[in-house]
């Protein structure tokens, strides 16, 4: 890849499903981007999303479906892409996803089981569900570089939870 080539990336981070759009020129940019994400209080972030010790409130009905991809899988896909493809081969848009979807309700139950949460799960139906289904077609990247995610949703949840317990809860 020439230094002037750029790859614009849109994907999911961690297991929150928040969108990321960034420009990566070299592998080291991944490290610098990650370092800029440090310094937030995980407990504060969880509270902002309606999570308390004995009750979690989610917006909508929980019946919508979403796709999640663990951030390490996204990073590996992007590095492999940068090492093996030229920007003009990739084109403007390339989806990177797990190819698996889960309802938000089922996701909440799985997370509860993994972390041992015994509190109330409340669905605030005064808020909209949003798009009924979000699942990306990631067949192009899988065919281009023979990539597929390595970390299952359950493993990703476990790793995220252990990170939170060991590092995030200290802030």
* Rounded CA separation 42/151 (Å): 22
| Domain with 163 in it | 7-170
**Number of domain units in the chain:** 1
* 64 lies in some domain: yes
* 103 lies in some domain: yes
* 59 lies in some domain: yes
The C-alpha torsion from 28 through 30 and 35 to 36, rounded to 10°, is 120
> Each residue of 36-66: pLDDT tens digit?
444 445 555 556 555 667 888 888 999 999 9
CATH number for position 73: 3.40.50.720
* Rounded CA separation 159/163 (Å): 6
Residue 73: CB atoms within 10 Å:
20
* 71 lies in some domain: yes
* 2 lies in some domain: no
* 20 lies in some domain: yes
Statement: residue 73 has pLDDT above 80: yes
* Rounded CA separation 85/168 (Å): 36
Statement: residue 151 has pLDDT above 90: yes
Check residue 65 and give its pLDDT.
93
* 93 lies in some domain: yes
* Rounded CA separation 21/84 (Å): 21
Least confident of 19-33, 39-53, 62-76, 102-116: 19-33
Long-range contacts of range 38-45, CB-CB < 8 Å, 24 or more positions apart?
Answer: 40/171, 41/168, 41/171, 42/164, 42/167, 42/168, 42/169, 42/171, 43/168, 43/169, 43/171, 44/171
CA distances to 32, 74, 87, 89 from 29, in Å: 5, 14, 16, 21
């Amino acid at each position: 890849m020439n230094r002037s080539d750029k790859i614009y990336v849109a994907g999911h981070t961690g297991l929150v499903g928040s969108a990321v759009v960034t420009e990566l020129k070299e592998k080291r940019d991944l490290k610098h981007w990650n370092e800029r994400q440090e310094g937030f209080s995980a407990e504060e972030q969880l509270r902002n999303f309606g999570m308390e010790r004995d009750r979690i409130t989610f917006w909508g009905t929980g019946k919508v479906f979403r796709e999640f991809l663990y951030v390490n899988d996204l990073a590996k896909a992007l590095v492999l892409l940068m090492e093996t493809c030229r920007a003009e081969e990739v084109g403007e848009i390339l989806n990177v996803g797990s190819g698996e979807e889960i309802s938000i309700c089922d996701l909440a139950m799985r997370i509860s089981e993994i972390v041992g949460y015994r509190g109330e799960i409340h669905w605030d139906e005064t808020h909209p569900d949003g798009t009924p289904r979000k699942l990306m077609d990631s067949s192009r990247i899988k065919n281009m570089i023979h990539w597929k995610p390595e970390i299952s949703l359950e493993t990703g949840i476990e790793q995220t939870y252990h990170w939170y317990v060991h590092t995030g809860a200290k802030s």
